[in-house]
Amino acid sequence: MPEYKAPLREIKFVTDELLDMPAHYASLPQFADVATPDMVDAIITEGAKFCENVLAPLNKVGDEEGCTRHEDGSVTTPTGFKAAYEQFVEAGWPSMTHKEEVGGQGLPESLGIVMSEMVGTSNWSWGMYPGLSHGAMNTISRWGTPEQNESYMPKLVSGEWTGTMCLTEPHCGSDLGILKTKAEPNADGSYAISGTKIFISAGEHDMSGNIIHIVLARLPGAPEGTKGISLFIVPKFNLDANGEAGDKNAVQCGSIEHKMGIHGNSTCVMNFDGAKGFLIGPENKGLNAMFTFMNTARIGTALQGVAAAEGSFQGALAYAKDRLAMRALTGPAAPEKAADPIIVHPDVRKMLLTQKAFAEGGRALVYLTSQQNDIVHYGTSEEEKKAADDMLGFLTPIAKAFLTEVGFEAANHGVQVFGGHGFIAEWGMEQIVRDTRISMLYEGTTGIQALDLLGRKVLMTQGAALKQFTKLVHNFCKEEADNEELAPFVAQLTELNKEWGDLTMKIGMSAMKDRNEVGSASVDYLMYSGYVTLAYLWAKMAKASQVALANGTSEEDFYKAKLTTARFYFSRILPRTKAHAATMVAGSDTLMDLDEEHFAF
């Protein structure tokens, strides 16, 4: 298995030099006194130790053992998972980013994202257990009654209890408008929830004292489609008079899904047989409330793309430095050895640099979204909060879909660098591929995220969301127009920034005549947007590195590597935008003109 080492220097570069998180925290009264540089460094350092020493060694264990369902519907997690979770709770990690009034530590969510990255890269399956709880907590905090918050939040925040989101049903995946789960009113004001949910990550396990399910269901007489969906809190154990876990509720794991990857997480079929539930949020507005959970999960899923790229890069780099095969084309690089390390070969370097560019660029993008999230919740003015919310809404589908697509690509490069050994389980590289393949599916497929970006976030706002971001890019290019060292970056970025708007306008005009034009263009549009967004961040990282070198530094190699990677990204990866640009405006006729009966096999 690859030995995971938390990339602390890379993390610090993004937080301190690219995004200036110390100034960001100082500008928000909520965090000015608690998220000090010393405190942040101490938290990240301790988090790295836990991930490297506790979670990473369990990664292969979880993949090989999987979870075990027993006859009574209970589930046992892989060896060591429960003990690791107890250690996680005892150290206070679950409560880090929650408000002090519910038992949290009052630290920023952007700091929690750093911890989530390290947890996810070291052991994604394990990290899903506490990770899903954050969405449940955000949903209850935002939409729950004071009594619901008092009943559930403290133990969710402490980590004593965990949470899930229960959306998908056997007959419907992303189209929640056709879900069938029912909620019948009880005399005591609760509801009897009946139905079957599938693909429920962490739906049943032995790691916490209670599991709080957030469940979508229909009330009697509710309107058809998405306008008739309500949201409910359904605990695994009903609460007794003291607010503790009491008698077992009528909810049970029917089976564990047999999955391609993430074997260490119990992805369950959950059966609700008149289970006692409690309405959260307004009747028939459940999907609105659930989006609080889903948006949290989408940023978390974007992080899986970064984790896949980082983890596969670490494994591939170590192997490429050690594995001997053939000689360098320019002559022996290690004449004292039987052959040269494969890192001397251009194709291997291309794969490694691709992994590196996606890992480091993806980290910058996810941390940027988390910074905007801080402002949405704790900004000092409504104008500032709205601007951050708009930016977050625009970047979320890009981060979720683009980063998972390129993260999967990076994971496959990791296997390729290992050659035949990459196909063998003991090296751990094929596990990263299997574990991360789901990231392009759950929390909305790439196609759904692409429709959200192009259809809702861009075209439905008449391009306002896009213009907000392209203005940032424009201002950066304008500020660096006379910077000769950045000229190659600025020139390409300026051209693409303009083309982005032109392509959007062209698609919008075509869509006025045929709405299929949006669907046919959307995935290429999203990928194009992702490559340009990362180009902007890589240009900014190049600028930060240039400044550090100009000011004098003892880490010249680090900053020179940043500049080299930026040049690689602009010359070897960014040209992919040309193909996406051509394809997105090619029209929908080649997709839609073939009659269904003429699809043959």
> Pairing between strand 267-279 and 191-201?
antiparallel
Cβ contact 270:203 at 8 Å: yes
* Annotation marks residue 405 as catalytic: no
Sequence-separated (6 or more) residues with CB below 8 Å from residue 71: none
> Which of 275-286 are b and which e, b meaning 16 or more Cβ less than 10 Å from the residue's Cβ?
bbbbbbbeebeb
pLDDT per position as a tens digit, 360-390? 999 999 999 999 999 999 999 999 999 999 9
> How does pLDDT run across 55-111, given as a tens digit for each residue?
999 999 999 999 999 999 999 999 999 999 999 999 999 999 999 999 999 999 999
Residue pair 523/583 in contact by the 8 Å Cβ criterion: no
pLDDT in tens, 446-477: 999 999 999 999 999 999 999 999 999 999 99
Q: Does position 391 have pLDDT exceeding 90, yes or no?
A: yes
Structure tokens, 375 = 């402002």
CA 484: distance to chain centroid?
36
Confidence of residue 321 (pLDDT cuts 50, 70, 90): very high
With left for phi above 0 and alpha for psi between -120 and 50, is residue 445 left, alpha or beta? beta
- pLDDT higher than 70, residue 484: yes
The one-character DSSP state at 484 is: G
Asked if residue 247 has pLDDT above 80, the reply is yes
Reading the block at residue 599, the tokens are 């699809």
Task: Give per-residue pLDDT as tens, 152-167.
Answer: 999 999 999 999 999 9
Express as a percent the part of the chain with pLDDT over 70: 100
pLDDT by residue (tens digit) across 18-66? 999 999 999 999 999 999 999 999 999 999 999 999 999 999 999 999 9
Task: Check residue 135 and give its pLDDT.
Answer: 87
| Token pair belonging to 154 | 């403290």
pLDDT of residue 465: 93
What pLDDT shows up at residue 448?
Answer: 95
Determine the pLDDT at residue 598: 83
* Active-site residue, from 409, 443, 480, 517: 443
Residue that wins the pLDDT comparison between 601 and 287 = 287
Range of lowest pLDDT (6-20, 329-343, 386-400, 585-599)? 585-599
Alpha carbon distance 332, 339 (integer Å)? 8
Residue 437 in tokens: 């393949």
What pLDDT, on the 0 to 100 scale, is given for residue 171?
87
pLDDT band for position 2 (cuts 50, 70, 90): confident
Give the residue among 210, 214, 180 at the shortest CA–CA distance from 194: 180
Residue 147: partners with Cβ closer than 8 Å, 6 or more residues away: none
Give CA–CA dist 440/444, Å, rounded.
8
Residue 430 has, within 13 A of its CA and on its CB side, a CA count of: 11
- For the chain, the average pLDDT equals 96
Please report the pLDDT score of residue 305 as a whole number.
98
Please list the residues that pair with 73 across neighbouring strands.
Answer: none
In this predicted structure, the answer to whether residue 176 has a pLDDT above a threshold of 80 is no
194-236 pLDDT, tens per residue?
999 999 999 999 999 999 999 999 999 999 998 999 999 999 9
- Over range 338-343, report the average pLDDT: 97
- Give the DSSP per-residue string, 53-121: IIIHHHHHHHHHH--EE-TTS-EEPPTTHHHHHHHHHHTTGGGTTS-GGGT-----HHHHHHHHHHHHH
Q: How confident is the model at residue 293 (pLDDT cuts 50, 70, 90)?
A: low
Interval 399-450: pLDDT, tens: 999 999 999 999 999 999 999 999 999 999 999 999 999 999 998 999 999 9
Give CA–CA dist 296/281, Å, rounded. 18
Question: Looking at residue 291, what is its pLDDT?
Answer: 75
